[in-house]
Amino acid sequence: LSRLVLGSLFRSIAADVAAVAPDGARVLEVGCGPGHLSIRLARQHGLDVTGLDLDPAMIERARANVDRSVDGDERRPSFLVGDVAALPFPDESFDLVVSTMSMHHWADPTAGMAEIDRVLRPGASALIWDFRPGFQPFHGDLPDPVEHTHGAPLRVVGATPWQWPWRFNLTQRIELIRAGD
């Protein structure tokens, strides 16, 4: 279902990520769910992708999805269970961190932002897509995701509406960089 509903959204997000990421970049996708974006970034754009999700069932599904879609020498993303508030990676491990539609689920967004900052290399950035303020149908009245960046070490470079397929403006794209960079 997620592939059907979110397929064209992930296609446009993957193109945006590929345009921002350095060639062969090491990318962390936080809240990867069943892995569709991670698989697309690795296979179609040649990025070294690690997908992370708090839910072991999602990681199991992501691993099955990558195995199901195996095609020769194509890059394969790796997947592991983990929490954005306690990332299991050394400092300065990634060229880019990406998150789509998961920030509103994070138990501690400030800790998550600090961890993302910690694992980003100098000069690296994070791209986060999440629901715009006031979006109510599925999750109640959500705050502006940019508010979760206040007090975090990452600096917001931009927050712009991101158009879904069918011209819905339900989400926004937030770009952040390391504050010291």
Q: Is the pLDDT of residue 81 over 90?
A: yes
Mean pLDDT over the full length of the chain? 82
pLDDT at 36: 93
Q: What is the mean predicted confidence (pLDDT) over 143-147?
A: 63
Spatial strand order of the sheet with 26-30 comes to 78-81, 48-53, 26-30, 94-100, 120-131, 171-178, 154-162
pLDDT at 170: 62
Q: Could you tell me which residues come within 8 angstroms of residue 144 by beta carbon, excluding any fewer than 6 positions away?
A: 132, 133
How does pLDDT run across 124-136, given as a tens digit for each residue? 999 998 876 655 5
How does pLDDT run across 6-44, given as a tens digit for each residue? 556 788 889 999 999 988 899 999 999 999 999 999 999
**Six-digit token string for 137:** 């149908």
Q: Is the pLDDT of residue 5 over 70?
A: no
**Six-digit token string for 114:** 């600090």
The structure's pTM equals 0.84
Cα(116)–Cα(131) distance, rounded to whole angstroms? 19
Q: Are 74 and 47 in contact (CB under 8 A)?
A: no
How does pLDDT run across 151-164, given as a tens digit for each residue? 667 777 777 766 65
